[in-house]
Amino acid sequence: MANKNELSDFDISEVNQKDDSMEVLDSNNIDDEIVIEEEVRKLGTKNEQAKELMQNSSEIISEVDSDVRVIRESIYEDTSIFEDAKSTLLNTTITQSQSLLNKVSYDYANIEQEEPFEISLGTKGKNVKVEDVKSGAFSGFLLAIISMFAIVGAWIYFATQKLGIALTPELITNQESQLSIFKLIGGMTGSDVDPSFGMIIVGVTSLLVGWIVYKFRVSTKENKNLRVANETFEKSNIYVEHQKEAKTDMERIERHIVEVIPVIEDYRVLLDEQNAKLQRVLHVEGIKEDSGEYHSSSIDSMKETDLLMERVEALVSTPITKDGKLNDASVVALSEAKSVSEYFVSKIYS
């Protein structure tokens, strides 16, 4: 049987040389990095600053997600075209080549796939939740009302304990007891005992405490809103950077797939031509027990067919991605496949 390494005037090493100028990522193609704002445009309140930060976070996340979604959809379309071309090549052209080589008793190479073929785009970055900014005014108002009632209750409790009046529901309708309570409270100012002074003291102190509680709640909420907004903005920029890196990886994957598809078609055409040669060999020379019994030019055709099959099978069986990124092995397989196809084309037209 003929040794497939004895191909005359055809040096396989010539076409297996790796191109030193393999594709590298051009830094000029990387999208401009998002610059984290050093200072938020000064607005009236902290809540307005927080709202602006939250809006900026939402906008940059929406923009980068849209860009990533577009490139993903484009890759899915290219992958579908790739799979169709691959299926046609393997199930039709390669199958016919193998059948013809079997008929001429030629021992061709079988490509064993070491790892499952995949085109995966990695995982999405952790989502950043952009919350609505709430002023805290409503909850502050409720707390203020509660605190005001609490102050009124405290004053009444204090007075009833001093006067020895039982704190019962009947106190609500007992006008005499009420006057006594407010006289006691009013007398604490050192003025003439007048229930109206007691009412004023109760009203003013309750309003003052309610106002303090309200302002404290609103101020606390504003500080929290600004802190959360700054944290969200920082997380958003980290998320955007992760997504931009993922987008760059996807663009490399897409360019690779787009480059592979016409190479597969080139091999289909070249192998169809080789299959025609083998059919001619079988028709003219017939079926022999050993491929070495065929004419030297026929043996060369067998070896050429074997080489083409080997290179294109390696190309379509090597996983295009690995860990969500372009697989270097697939880049090498494409480079070698292109070298072989270019050799055959140049050989035809030399």
pLDDT of residue 21: 37
What does the block give as tokens for 57?
Answer: 């976070």
Closest CA to 232 of 63, 59, 46, 57: 57
Please work out, in degrees rounded to the nearest 5, the angle formed at the alpha carbon of residue 108 by the alpha carbons of 105 and 113. 145
Q: For 26, list phi and psi in degrees, rounded to 5.
A: -80, 120
Q: Give the angle 267-271-272 at the CA atoms, nearest 5°.
A: 115
229 CA to centre of own chain: 22
For the chain, residues with pLDDT lower than 50 are 1-38
Q: Are 256 and 330 in contact (CB under 8 A)?
A: yes
Specify the residue for token string 């796939």: 113
Q: What is the pLDDT of residues 22-47, one digit of tens each?
A: 333 334 333 443 444 445 555 567 77
Check: CB of residue 264 under 8 Å from CB of residue 316. yes
Return the ∠ at Cα 313 (arms to 85 and 304), rounded to 5°: 110
* All structural domains of the chain with their residue ranges: 39-132+229-349, 137-225
R_g of the chain, CA atoms, integer Å? 41
